[in-house]
Amino acid sequence: MRGQIITRSGDRLLVEIRDKILRCAQRKKLPPLTVGDWVTVEQDSASTNEGVITELEERSTLLSRPDPFNQRRKPIASNIDQLLLVTASEPGIDQLQIDRIIVAAEASSIPLSIVINKVDLLSQDQRNSLKDKLKHYQEIGYPLIWISTLMSKDGEDDIEQLKQQLDGRCSVLVGPSGGGKSSIIKTLLPDGAESNKIAVGELARSIKQGKHTTSVSTLYHLNGYSEETSIIDSPGVREFGVWDLDENTIRGGFREFDLYLDQCRFSNCRHLSEPGCAVSKAVDNGEISTNRLESYRGLLEE
Ligand code: GDP
Ligand code: ZN
């Protein structure tokens, strides 16, 4: 039977097979599995809701993070179509943090949009000045979506744009704690996600005695959208992007520099303080955001 892993906690996996959910272990020959994986399952017997995962289908994308105890990276979620970076003026919008997450998104080749939540806390003036400060993200291809989970009056925010962006895709919310990821998921999941509620309920019971309660990752289907629309909520991505990055990975996160690379005087220019640096010049000319160059240099220094 073919199914998709919708919940993982420690080595407990829940696999959704059409409208049925099985608790599964995985065959040892398989790599570590993760939420979003499509797998083949053998049910123990028709009467139980337990099974064994025997095959893993090829993943279209994989989010992973370094594992301090192991050479191999730890999978966080798979088959994701996009990342939604959620941040807000409260607790604060940190452009270095945004750029770090962009670097990690580019390294995984997953498209990213930036969701600025809590616009209800901003006056019109504050909103305009923030829009101006962040508009370079939009210009280099990362959509900016302004929302509030509290207030959603017509035309006051981009909640419709967010819904369109979600439709038909599997999304993962990332970003600093307190930005509103859980609140957004709550807003999007009114009473619809029947099978998921059962899954989460069952898992919660089965792991009550364990200590992993806070590390449960779950895939939710969104009702009222196309069939493939889902959101993966994973505490593993809380820290997304804060791990060590190598220089090549960092370069990959600053796509707007690419246009200038072959104009730097030195072919191995790192755009720090080299003479004849075309990237620095583009910043002076207002073609590249000063903040982005500062982030790039900051990340290299780290
Ligand atoms: P998470 O850590 O990213 O999951 O953030 P939460 O969803 O837990 O939200 C953090 C806090 O921000 C909570 O106290 C929410 O009630 C609050 N919050 C979430 N969305 C909004 C919003 O649109 N406006 C305001 N003013 N507060 C919000
Ligand atoms: Zn340069």
- Provide the Cα torsion 269, 273, 274, 278; round to 10°: 70
151 lines ligand 1 (CB under 6 A): no
In whole angstroms, give the CA distance from residue 117 to residue 150. Answer: 10
Residues 118, 21 share a domain: no
Nearest one of 290, 233, 271 to 99, comparing CA atoms:
290
Residue where a domain stops, chosen among 223, 239, 255: 239
Token pair, residue 160, equals: 């419709």
Residues 98, 54 share a domain: no
Query: Which residue from 121, 149, 188, 217 has its CB within 8 A of the most atoms of ligand 1, so it is best to mutate?
Result: 149
149 lines ligand 1 (CB under 6 A): yes
Contact between 37 and 56 (Cβ < 8 Å) = yes
Contact between 239 and 174 (Cβ < 8 Å) = no
- Provide the Cα torsion 57, 62, 63, 68; round to 10°: 80
Q: Which helix (H) or strand (E) holds 54?
A: strand 50-56
Residues 142, 106 share a domain: yes
> Ligand 1: distance of its center to the CA of 186 in Å?
11
- Output the pTM of the full model: 0.90
Residues 127, 35 share a domain: no
182 lines ligand 1 (CB under 6 A): yes
Residues 200, 87 share a domain: yes
Residue where a domain stops, chosen among 239, 260, 275: 239
Residues 266, 163 share a domain: no
In whole angstroms, give the CA distance from residue 167 to residue 228. Answer: 8
176 lines ligand 1 (CB under 6 A): no
Q: For residue 156, give the CATH number of its domain.
A: 3.40.50.300
Residues 225, 121 share a domain: yes
Residues 226, 114 share a domain: yes
Give the chain's domain count. Answer: 3
> Ligand 2: distance of its center to the CA of 295 in Å?
15
Ligand 2 ion: residues within 5 Å (CB): 264, 269, 271, 277, 279
Q: For residue 252, give the CATH number of its domain.
A: 1.10.40.50
Domain around 210: 64-69+74-239
- Can you count the helices (H) and strands (E) in the chain? 8, 13
Q: Which helix (H) or strand (E) holds 51?
A: strand 50-56
Contact between 40 and 53 (Cβ < 8 Å) = yes
* Amino acid of residue 92: G
Please, which residues bridge with residue 182 across strands?
A: none
Which residue has the least CA distance to atom 10 on ligand 1? 178
89 lines ligand 1 (CB under 6 A): no
Contact between 145 and 161 (Cβ < 8 Å) = yes
Residues 152, 224 share a domain: yes
Residues 171, 110 share a domain: yes
Residues 223, 86 share a domain: yes
Residues 187, 127 share a domain: yes
1 lines ligand 1 (CB under 6 A): no
Q: Could you read off the pLDDT tens digit of each residue along the chain, which spans 302 residues?
A: 999 999 987 778 999 998 888 999 999 999 999 999 999 999 988 778 899 999 999 999 999 887 778 778 888 899 999 999 999 999 999 999 999 999 989 999 999 999 999 999 999 999 999 999 999 999 999 999 999 998 765 567 888 999 999 999 999 999 988 999 989 988 887 654 544 555 555 555 554 444 444 567 889 888 889 988 999 988 767 666 666 678 999 999 999 999 999 999 999 999 999 999 999 999 999 999 999 999 999 999 88
